[in-house]
Structure 1
Amino acid sequence: MKSRHSKWLSLVFIFILATQSLVTGTAFAADEISKLVLNKNELALQVGDTANLTATAIFVSGSTENATVKTDWNSGSTDVASVYAGVVTAKKEGKAVITATYMGKTVIVNVDVSKKVKSLTKDKQSLALRLNATDQVKITAFYDDGTSEDVTSKADYTVDTSSIVTVTNGLVKGQNPGSATITIKYMNQSLTLPVDVEVVRRIDAVKSSISLLLNGTEPIVLNATYPDGTNADVSAKAVWTTDKPNVADVINGSVKGYGVGTANLTATYGTKSTTVKVDVDSTLKLTLDQPNVLMKKNAIKDLKLEATYIDSATPVNFTDRAEWASSDEDIVQVTKGKLTAISIGEATIYAKYGDKVVTANVDVEVPRRLVVSTDLLSMQVGQVLPALTLTATYADGTSDNTIADSATWSVDNDAVAFVSKGLVKAYKSGEATVTAKYGGKTTTTKVEVDIPTTIKASKKAVNLQKGGSDKVTLTAYFKDNRELDVTSLAEWTTSSKDIAEARGGEITGVSTGTATITGKYGTRTTSIQVSVGVLKSLTVSQEKLVMKKGDSVTLTAEAIYTDDTKNSNAAADVIWTSSNLKVATVDGGKVKAIASGETTLSAQLDSKTVTISVTVDMASDLSANVANLVFDLNETRSIVLTATDASGAARTVTNEAEWKSSSSTIALVSKGVVTPVSRGKATITATYGGKSVTIPVEIGVIQTLVADKSFIVTKSGDQVQVKLTATLADGSTKDVTETATWKVMSYKLGTVTDGLFTATGSGKTTITGSFGGKMVAIPVEIDSLKYLKTDVVKIELQEGKTAKIEALATYTDGSEEDVTKPALWTSSNIMIADVKDGIIRATGKGTARITVTYSNMRTTVQVTVTK
């Protein structure tokens, strides 16, 4: 029976297997794999790196499947590279073969594992080449296992400007003048190498200015100075530009004048530029007959302008032909040389003809000095003194003492005094300052109302017995030689009510002891020393102490008074002092030794004083093993200190001495070890046994700090890079542009970061770069105008008509810009002519002056309106 049952089960099992085989065979026939594809066939890894491999199955039917997880992954060298679910991990340097198998298809991946690169180095930090010259750079790789390798031929090189330099296996060649940066890459590390080709230190024109006749020519010599000190004429090689090609230009190293005027020729060679000014058949000079003019308010004066030509020594009157302008028309106005003084102040008058401008300084009643008749008034309450006299002295030496009524008077404390046109009245006791202002000048007078210069007591010291009393009077002395008994008016106080009291100058002894009585009147005080029970003698338990650092001794004191009172515990009442608290301190008679040295203790009670000499760990000589220290940051130095006692025995006291640095921001010192903090100079002081030794220290001191630009002229929105170079104490130089501290004096005009200045406004400012205690200041001009003019200076319009005027700004670099829209337009009389954005509208008959202002310069247009 059992045998038949087993046979039946076997048949069922065979049936199931046959059925599964039939089904499986059908599936393989329907989805037969065509091939297995991996995303990579080769891998290059460093030790510790990982990489992901993916496997894609492509079937005969054309369908695909991501079979990464289902694939069987194996590594032929698991100690070199292991693999799990397609993730390859590099173990050690060597080669391995990864096998991927899925549905009978197998694909291999070759894996090359190299050592991990920790860092790259180059044997040259920068290169300076001449044209067509070459230089070899060596690149070294340092691996994690501590080994290194020359990888110069293995590294990849890229150049940001291939027209300037080329590089092959580290061999750099200069192609054209300029600067470029080479990026060097190997494995996961990279370096940069700055290269300068034919970069000159400076270029200089032999002549910075040239005068030519119309159509005249003149050769020009341009000297280039290279870093090695050699020179060469590069006038023909340089790139020349001109701001006015219709006036002058450079062709083949010669300057030629094409038209009358002044032009600026700029030569650029490599990264350096220089400018040559060329004058072509223009006026030699303009002169004003009065460069400095003194005027009274509402006065009128005439200026005369003369022009002198190169070909004629006889000046020509150009007063009516020039363009005239005032820096402040609220102070002085000018029309064809005629000056009109409007108000007190200073202004500059500009006369322009062609491209030349001359100026005259105008002073309208501006005092050079303002003096008040007295700088101190001593007054009594309710007193009124004669008015103060105010004298103004002008630039021509004349003076005026009648300006008190025109000046502005003020007082800082009107509760004490009042002032009007120099007249001062005293209200109450106190102090005040009277100020007078006129023409921009200021002068002051101090006022004291019932303020004594001093107060004095009839007695400086009072000795009383317990219950006794004495009378003291108090006298106040004033600057006007007045004396006043203020005993009853003064405020009386005592330092101890238990010992002595004072009322209205009457001093009463309460109990034995000492106290200080103070009398106060106004802002002055005086003191009277009071002794109750007069001291006959004071004795201290010891006259001399010899101590060691850290020891303490308690002294006792005994006081005997004339009334036979004896105080054997007077130490608490005695005033104890030490002449040198660094050596020993004393409090209530307890003496504590602090450090080696000598001091004198004083015990004072009333008029008696007892002194005690104290010595602590004294030495007869102290010396250091070095006289000075010179080193750089990231280093330390040690100083050994030796003390010699009176017997001649010497011992090392480095750890016991007191060490100090004159500047903890430069160097720190602890037990003789000097640690640098920053660059600079400091002094290390060691003190022991009453002796001191000083050692000068110099840490990475910067000798000089130089910027590559001494002056910047730019426009709003532009950027200018400044390079900062520091020369160290050993003569080496260092580019500190990015580590220096940069500042702009006016944040409204621009910003500076790592030497890169960005102009954001118009005006003048200064940028500073600071490093190692040195600072370089560079003046900056932004949108600085040379002059401002309009296309017309006079115009006639009929009422109701309009006209358009254009404003042209010329900058100091010679560029020009139409500023009609951004300029400010104003009219002296809008009832005659109104203006907006250069468009003038005639509103009524008469004459008006249109003023256009831009970047702190202004010019005017005269408008005549007729019916």
Structure 2
Amino acid sequence: MNLSLRFNMSFKETRRWLAAALAFAMIMTSAAGVAYAAEDTVTSIEFSYDSDDYDNNTSSLKTFVEDDKVNLTVFANISGYSNKKEVTSDVTWKSSNTALVKVEKGVLTGVGKGTATISATYKGFTISIKAASDYVYDSVTLMQNDGITAPVSKDIEIGQPLAFALNGTKGSNTKTVTTDAVWSTSNSAVANVDEGVITLLGVGTTTITAKLKGKSDSITLNVTSPYKSITIDSGASGNLVQLEIGSDDTVLTASAAPKTGGTEPVTDIAKWVSANEKITTVKKGVVTPVSAGKTTITVSYKGVSATIDVVVRAAYQSIKLSPEKEYHMLLQDSPLQIKAEVQDNNSTITTVTDLAEWTSSNVVVATVSKGLVYPKAVGTTKITASHKGVSRSIEITVYPSISELSIDSETIDGYKDISGDLPKVMATTFDGTKIDVSKIVVWSSSSENIAMIKDGQWTAKALGEATLTASLQGYKAEVKLTVHVKPLKLIADVKDLSIILGKDTPLPTVKVINEDGEEEDVSSRIKWKTTSEDIVIKETTMKGLDVASLTLTATYLTKSVSVKIKVEEEIIKLVVDPISIELYPGKTKSVKVTGYYKSGKQISLGSKMNWEVGNSGVATVSTTSVKGVAVGTTKITGSYQGKMVTVPVVVVPKLKSLLLSSKSVQLSAGGTYSAKLQANFTTGSPANVTENAVWTSSKASVATVIDGKITALSKGSASIKATYAGKSVTIRVTVK
């Protein structure tokens, strides 16, 4: 093959495209009037290809490695049809040697030099054709500028020019193909290449390769520097450059020492790099501080480099803004002047309001210039002042115009020396919207002897009342602060309380015991709270929403007390046992109470009745028992779900002994004797219990007895017994 073949091949692709288009048109034309059945009978298959792709001398298709591809088309002859069916994409393709020629859907690609057999199988028919693959060039060779073949390796110094050409040879013909080749470098840090032109970048070794149509050639470059070293001069001793943010730029110079001796200034032609441009930047040796930190500056020139450390510090310790906390202002307010001061490392304070850089995070809300803040719209923004590496921000909130002020609380309770947060203040805007203006109102006290206001809190100073007033834009809202005696303890009238599900029940009564010993009902000033969702607390009542056991906490000033609440079904009846109680002093008797729900269920309530006794001098009552104290009568009263029960209580003295008026008596038949019975009690007070005792006769035929009166009936003897309070005594009666 001669080079004219490559020229002819430039037309080859065009002819191939035209042939393919013509074949496609013929197929489409013939197919337009033909509809093949899904199960047509194939009688044979045949190849179709561009005649320019076939070499008659070798009787094979010709392909070239990494060059144009060859297209094979397969047509099937169908029984009963004169037109052929194109089946290329349905064919099973195979190459006898894929290391030489590959085939995919009829497209042949040259891989290596040699011949392979390409076969196509369809519907039981197989056809084959030879395909020869070759290289466009037998070899490619790197050439130096002097026309001499490039060596395997070459030593060169950075700065020296270097370029290669690439020749492609086929047989005895050679052609320059430099621009057609693909050039690459194995180490881009040492050198890069563009169409044979080499740019030397750093010291080291790299391999330059030119590749074309499956052939390649390469050269190894050993790159060195023409200089021994390079140095950086900062104008100061040591290898450290120290800068401050906002200070003037520092100029570094660089000198390179050639291997031949001497030095050369290379500041303007060397490459300067900052390791962290957020700290410093550098250009032609000029270093500019950006922010505080430590970094390095590196200079490099023709394979030599040097590095110097750079430290950038803030010029000041800190910056302070006045006002320094969040600030709240109205849209129609005059601009707010913020003052900025800095403290340097010598603790000297300097005002830098006009020198600082001021920014607003939301210029829609407010703008700022030299610390002067202009409110522009309702919202919040952050105003930041920055100066030489230090910065500080303040949050600015802009409020709309208002038409009314209001405070949820009407009164505040406190005691001497206690402090509390001022109440929330709401404002009504032009469109009726409610906004919280607590941070922008100005507070005053009608009597600073009673209550003082400072930093959003009130402090009670003395007993009495003071009116606290919140003012804004000419509008005012007031709350009354009452300073009480210091509370010591809160006491609720009940510890446990049952309430009926779904019914409003009054909140418990709460009293406070003050420091001066006085008791005071503070029920109307109590704040009730609970963590349960099964109850609703109203102003003076509560309502259970579901059966539950929960705790209510009452708070007054700094004291609190808890009440256990049980939300349950309604109880329709209470039954107490016993219905009356009699006992001795010092003795105890239990009381049982049974409750009956609407559903018919029962519950024991003795310990939940909140018992009270009418006279604690006669008896006392605990959760489930009564104890006698002294002889007398009283009653205990308890309630549950508003239903009351009362149990009479009688405390009687305990009997010590019984004494009859006589131990024996003699009577004649028909005679009588009135015996007297005396009861001696532990209280020391004897009593005549003759009529209260039970009298019996051991022999009624001899003598009978009624309320101590003995009547003799016939001759004989009998024992008369008197029984009282569990004790008995007898008298011997003899009838003559």
TM-score, normalization by structure 1: 0.29
Structure having the higher Rg? 2
Which fold has the larger relative contact order, with Cα–Cα distance below 8 Å and residues 6 or more apart in sequence? 2
